[in-house]
Amino acid sequence: MDDIATLPRIIEGTLHRTLTDEDLKAIFRIKSFWSLYYASLVITGIRPVDLAMLCQWNLNREGSNIGYYRQGTTEHREVSVPPNFLNLFPEDRPNDEPLFPALYSDIDDFEFRSEQLNENLGPVADFLEALLAAAGRPVASLMAFKVTHDEAQQGENDVLYQILISRLNDARGVFEMPQS
């Protein structure tokens, strides 16, 4: 029988786990090219591919939220964010400029765009893995930021959410805007 389906490769461990305070300290202990992207993932809870496609026009500074369309759907979402978070993104950029130019893909075809986005996100995921490994922390995926955000929003991890918000108070000194 040649038409038997094969199961996907199963990776042991929980890559999409909740990030602990120790993990966050390891990730943000140094100012890196990807610090703002990582902070955006955990503060907004937006999926990595969706965040990579955001442009300046997605930011609603007056309403303190980010509006976007989920990749592969016509579903529009809005995410509330702390007002000082949006200040991390310069206001003087053109509306159609991507927030993270190194990750953005302007390919129209969804399947090809998805492949390009996954390729663009590879180095970001690898750097996250290296930061955690250097601190002796278990590996985590980029989706771990969303899991952490979602648990914090549900009140399951109030302390963690307060740590994240407090780190934004002096965020301009910790994060930098990635330049392509």
- Mind listing the pLDDT tens digit of every residue in the chain (180 residues)? 556 665 555 555 557 888 888 888 888 887 788 888 998 998 889 999 899 989 999 999 999 899 998 877 888 999 988 777 888 888 888 999 999 988 887 766 556 566 777 788 889 999 999 999 999 999 999 999 888 888 877 665 455 556 665 555 444 444 444 444
Q: Which of 147, 98, 105, 110 shows the shortest CA–CA distance to 122?
A: 105
**In whole angstroms, what is the distance from residue 98 CA to residue 112 CA?**
18
The pTM of the full predicted model, rounded to 2 decimals, is 0.78
